A = this chain, B = another copy of it.
Amino acid sequence: MGESVAWVAVDWGTSNVRAWGVSADGGIVASARSEAGMARLTPEAYPAALDLLLTDMAIPAGAPLEVLICGMAGARQGWREAPYLEVPAELGGLALSAVEPLGTRPGLSARIQPGVCHKGVGSEDVMRGEETQLLGLSRLLPGFSGLAVLPGTHCKWAELDGRRLTRFGSAMTGEVFEALAQHTVLRHSLAGDVVESEREAGFDDGVEAALARPERLLSSLFRVRTGALLSGKSPSWCRGFLSGLLIGTEIAGFRNWGGDEEVPLIGSTALCALYGRGLAAIGRKSRIVDATDCTLAGLRAARELL
């Protein structure tokens, strides 16, 4: 298999890393993944972690090889810092702004793409990895302009004009959900088997409450508990309500972003489905676009535009 690999695309995340061997005609001919995410590596450990992935893909050591990397390998705590581009950012220039990390084996030419930041006082923001998915989106949806949403641990809202990222914002919704569901009194209301219809009803109630009073989040959260205590709400309803409250509040905060276009949602299918349901509540249409397709299309596009 290794013979036909022309270059290697790598998405280096916080908790894991994925690599794909790409043939000369752009097809994926090999792939590998590991748990060697940024959170587990010192800078010196990256070359060996990369070599392991190449070995897993049966790519012979020693031969010349080009590797293009996006994500957390370029963070300050990563392999080598790849300074942020600033918005408005031309995403076509991602590979051009990439840095070459140290310590790779002879013959291996690795580059790490930058993330994007906003330095405005009072609205500082950063992304690493999503900028590559957004470049990929511009390849997958030629001519697209408008709002795209990337649900996840830290969800990103981004306005694109072709390959130009004009502005973006983050929301800690996914991580806040986990912290509240596991480490507050609300956890007592969430334990139990999931009944999907009840969870959906709870989610819709949560979105409705959040859209009506998005500034009341810290109070509405307590209704996860009082709903169980006073109104006999089930754990499934409570779990859906918590999720709906948080996603609904996030949507309320960004509701004036974008226009009437269908909103691409890039992320895990289950999570994107919830965002789609929430966006529908404010009359916005959306569609799910595969996240891995976006990452790969972004790395391919960055390399071609070099």
Contacts and interface: CB of A to CB of B under 8 A. Distances in A.
B172 A209 contact: no
B125 A170 contact: no
A151 to B, nearest CB: 12
Nearest to A153: B185
Nearest to A154: B222
A117 interface: yes
Contacts of A221: 172, 176
Interface in A118-166: 119, 121-126, 154
Complex copy number for this chain:
2
B214 A126 contact: no
A10 to B, nearest CB: 22
A222 to B, nearest CB: 4
Contacts of A227: 124
Contacts of A42: none
Contacts of A175: 184-185
B124 A218 contact: no
Contacts of A172: 184, 218-219, 221-222
Contacts of A154: 185, 222
Contact of A222 (B117, B119, B125, B219): B125
Contact of A121 (B173, B184, B231, B252): B231
Contacts of A229: 76, 124, 126
Interface of A: 76, 117, 119, 121-126, 154, 169-173, 175-176, 178-180, 182-185, 209, 213-219, 221-223, 226-227, 229-231, 246, 249-250, 252-254
25 contacts: A119-B231, A122-B223, A123-B223, A124-B223, A124-B227, A124-B231, A126-B226, A126-B230, A171-B218, A171-B222, A173-B218, A175-B184, A176-B180, A176-B221, A178-B183, A179-B179, A179-B183, A179-B184, A215-B252, A215-B253, A216-B253, A217-B217, A218-B249, A218-B253, A219-B254
